């Protein structure tokens, strides 16, 4: 019978990050901050994505729904016995702001794909990627228009079940306006000017945009969805920048006992007779960043510290990496504070022992989002209790441990394209 081990925490005993989505008050605060920042920069330069008269620049993938141009709109019409259909841009986009209007029959489901792909190597060309949902479902009173679904892969990433204001903003049977802003791992949407989804996810950073007509089974009478005023502003793109070169500890601070480079991997080892923890820090301090680690747990556990203080590395936050008896543990923690409330540790069967895994930790202001193997484990908004800037890996003392890190990457923006006047 398998058992789950428990582990002692560092002396500071930080408060675990809480699992789950954002509360509405916290989400509103984040969006207000974003609005204040955006007011200080020049507005993006929009260009038409659809010329109003033709489907030039688009190509159809997937099913056989009909796409046509009428009255300055792209009109998608259902066809029986065909799978989901997509009218895709030939061009790929990374970071962007997209706006459009749509009108849809009440019995049809649709959406707009962003950062999406279609390759023979994935399910024989199935379109997959993020979808900004169009959901006029009055029968179930769902109305999740503006939520983010991942077509052909993980399913719902952020619905609107906890955002009543966005649900009420949708106007069934009328024209509705959508705004989408995708920058790095931040994906945000608005429905008729009301904030809807606010997702942090870095699985896909570029791809095409596509207009979906959902399959309707054998239903013969046609249903339609219309789009107009499709405009986009190119905001450049983000890429993963390697911080570990696979050959040395260049990019890290002074080497600590127990850390070596072997066969292209950063290897961290702990010993039961070594009571003190061993840490190696990234050379470039930064309070907020998105970091991705490709790692393998042979035995024991490690901590990924962020916002650690230079004067006392125990003051800060960490994500715990552990694999015990075939189960994986990813714990999030934050600095102990007088207002902190104890919470339960997060245990998920997502990290595979003795196999390569990917851990992504994204820190934006008071928000911390943790993914393991593209599954979201933590989405937490709390007090920005630590002003530290150090990020690093720790092997806690008093344990036999071996963890290998094949890659340490940071999500980094590339320069935006120059707009010629």
Backbone angles phi, psi at 150, to 5 degrees: -105, 105
pLDDT of residue 394: 94
pLDDT of residue 95: 98
Domain co-membership, 264 together with 352: yes
pLDDT tens-digit series, residues 318-346: 888 887 544 455 555 443 332 223 233 44
| pLDDT (average), residues 264-269 | 97
Domain co-membership, 195 together with 65: yes
Backbone angles phi, psi at 164, to 5 degrees: -65, -35
| pLDDT (average), residues 250-275 | 93
pLDDT of residue 293: 97
**Tokens coding 162:** 């906890």
pLDDT of residue 310: 80
pLDDT tens-digit series, residues 88-118: 999 999 999 999 999 999 999 999 999 999 9
pLDDT tens-digit series, residues 137-169: 888 889 999 999 999 999 999 999 999 999 999
pLDDT of residue 421: 46
Domain co-membership, 283 together with 350: yes
Structure letter (DSSP) for residue 344: P
pLDDT of residue 384: 54
Rounded Cα gap, residues 117 and 123, in angstroms:
11
CATH of the domain at 65: 2.60.120.560
What is the pTM assigned to this prediction?
0.85
pLDDT of residue 383: 61
pLDDT tens-digit series, residues 7-32: 333 333 333 343 334 444 444 444 44
Rounded Cα gap, residues 216 and 376, in angstroms:
31
Domain co-membership, 387 together with 305: yes
Number of domains in the chain: 2
Cβ atoms of 227 and 211 closer than 8 Å = yes
Domain co-membership, 173 together with 270: no
pLDDT over 90 (residue 183) = yes
Domain co-membership, 270 together with 203: no
Beta strand 176-183 with 73-77: parallel, antiparallel or unpaired?
A: unpaired
**Tokens coding 362:** 């994204």
Closest by CA position to 210, among listed 195, 199, 225:
225
Structural domain contains residue 225: yes
417 against 310, higher pLDDT: 310
User: Which of the four pLDDT bands, split at 50, 70 and 90, describes residue 385?
Assistant: low
pLDDT of residue 27: 43
Domain co-membership, 390 together with 279: yes
Domain co-membership, 166 together with 271: no
Domain co-membership, 200 together with 253: no
Neighbour tally for 9: CB within 10 Å: 16
Domain co-membership, 251 together with 277: yes
Sheet holding 208-213, edge to edge: 58-62, 85-89, 208-213, 110-117, 128-134, 148-151, 155-158
Structural domain contains residue 301: yes
Domain co-membership, 283 together with 296: yes
pLDDT over 90 (residue 366) = no
Q: Which residues are CB-neighbours of 248 under 8 A, at least 6 positions away?
A: 261
pLDDT over 50 (residue 238) = yes
Least confident of 191-195, 279-283, 330-334: 330-334
Picking from 191, 219, 236, the residue at the C-terminal end of a domain is: 236
Rounded Cα gap, residues 117 and 167, in angstroms:
28
Picking from 236, 259, 285, the residue at the C-terminal end of a domain is: 236
Neighbour tally for 416: CB within 10 Å: 13
| pLDDT (average), residues 292-301 | 95
Structural domain contains residue 360: yes
Picking from 185, 203, 236, the residue at the C-terminal end of a domain is: 236
Domain co-membership, 301 together with 262: yes
Domain that holds residue 390: 240-413
């Amino acid at each position: 019978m398998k058992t789950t081990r428990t582990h002692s925490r560092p002396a500071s005993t930080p408060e675990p990050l809480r699992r789950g989505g954002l509360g509405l008050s916290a989400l509103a605060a984040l969006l207000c901050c974003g609005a204040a920042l955006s007011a200080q920069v020049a507005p993006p330069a929009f260009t038409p994505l659809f010329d109003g008269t033709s489907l030039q620049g688009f190509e159809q993938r997937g099913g056989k729904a009909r796409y046509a141009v009428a009255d300055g709109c792209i009109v998608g019409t259902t066809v029986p016995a065909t799978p989901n259909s997509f009218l895709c841009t030939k061009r790929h986009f990374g970071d962007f702001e997209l706006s459009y209007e749509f009108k849809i029959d009440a019995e049809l489901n649709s959406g707009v794909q962003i950062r999406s792909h279609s390759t023979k190597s994935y399910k024989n060309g199935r379109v997959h990627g993020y979808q900004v949902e169009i959901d006029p479902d009055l029968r179930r009173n769902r109305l999740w228009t503006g939520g983010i679904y991942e077509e052909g892969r993980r399913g719902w990433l952020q619905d609107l079940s906890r955002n009543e204001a966005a649900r009420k903003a949708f106007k069934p049977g009328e024209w509705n306006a959508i705004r989408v802003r995708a920058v790095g791992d931040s994906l945000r949407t608005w429905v008729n000017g009301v904030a809807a989804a606010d997702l942090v996810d870095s699985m896909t950073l570029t791809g095409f945009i596509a207009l979906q007509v959902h399959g309707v089974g054998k239903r013969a009478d046609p249903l339609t969805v219309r789009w107009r005023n499709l405009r986009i502003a190119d905001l450049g793109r983000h890429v993963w920048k390697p911080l570990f070169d696979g050959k040395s500890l260049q990019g890290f601070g002074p080497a600590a006992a127990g850390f070596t480079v072997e066969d292209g991997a950063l290897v961290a080892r702990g010993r039961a007779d070594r009571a003190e923890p061993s840490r190696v820090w990234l050379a470039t301090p930064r309070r907020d960043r998105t970091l991705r680690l490709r790692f393998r747990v042979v035995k024991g556990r490690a901590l990924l510290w962020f916002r650690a203080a230079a004067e006392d590395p125990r003051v800060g936050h960490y994500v715990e990496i552990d694999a015990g008896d075939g189960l994986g543990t990813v714990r999030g923690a934050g600095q102990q504070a007088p207002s902190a409330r104890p919470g339960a540790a997060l245990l998920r069967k997502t990290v595979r022992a003795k196999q390569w895994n990917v851990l992504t930790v994204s820190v934006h202001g008071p928000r911390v989002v943790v993914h393991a193997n593209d599954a979201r484990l933590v989405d937490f908004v709390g007090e920005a209790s630590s002003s530290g800037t150090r990020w690093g890996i720790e092997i806690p003392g008093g344990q036999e441990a071996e963890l290998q890190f094949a890659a340490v990457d940071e999500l980094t923006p590339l320069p935006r394209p120059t707009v010629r006047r």
